[in-house]
Amino acid sequence: MKISHPCPLPSSKVLYLFGILSLLAVSLTTGCSGFHRAWENQAALTSTEDEGLSGLWAGKWESEKNGHHGTLRCLITQTGNQQYQAWYHAKYLKWFSYAYKVDMEAHLTEPNLITFQGKADLGFLAGGTYAYQGQVSNHVFQATYRAKSDHGVFHMQRHIP
Distance separating the N- and C-terminal Cα atoms of the chain: 73
Please report whether residue 91 resides in a domain.
Answer: yes
pLDDT tens per residue across span 17-36: 444 444 444 444 445 668 87
- Give percent of the chain with pLDDT exceeding 70: 76
pLDDT tens digits, one per residue of 4-15: 545 454 555 544
- Residue 146 within a domain: yes
Instruction: Return the higher-pLDDT residue of 131 and 43.
Output: 131
**Does residue 83 lie within any of the structural domains?**
yes
Domain count, the chain: 1
Strand partners, 9: none
Q: Over the stretch 59-103, which tens digit does the pLDDT of each residue have? A: 999 999 999 999 999 999 999 999 999 999 999 887 788 899 999
Assigned domain for 76 exists: yes
Domain that holds residue 129: 27-158
What span, in angstroms and rounded, lies between the C-alpha atoms of 55 and 39?
Answer: 9
Domain annotation covers residue 10: no
Q: One-letter amino acid identity for 74?
A: C
Residue 3, domain member (yes or no)? no
Does residue 1 lie within any of the structural domains?
no
What does the buried/exposed string (b/e) look like for 115-124 if buried means 16 or more CB atoms within 10 Å of the residue's CB? bbebebebee
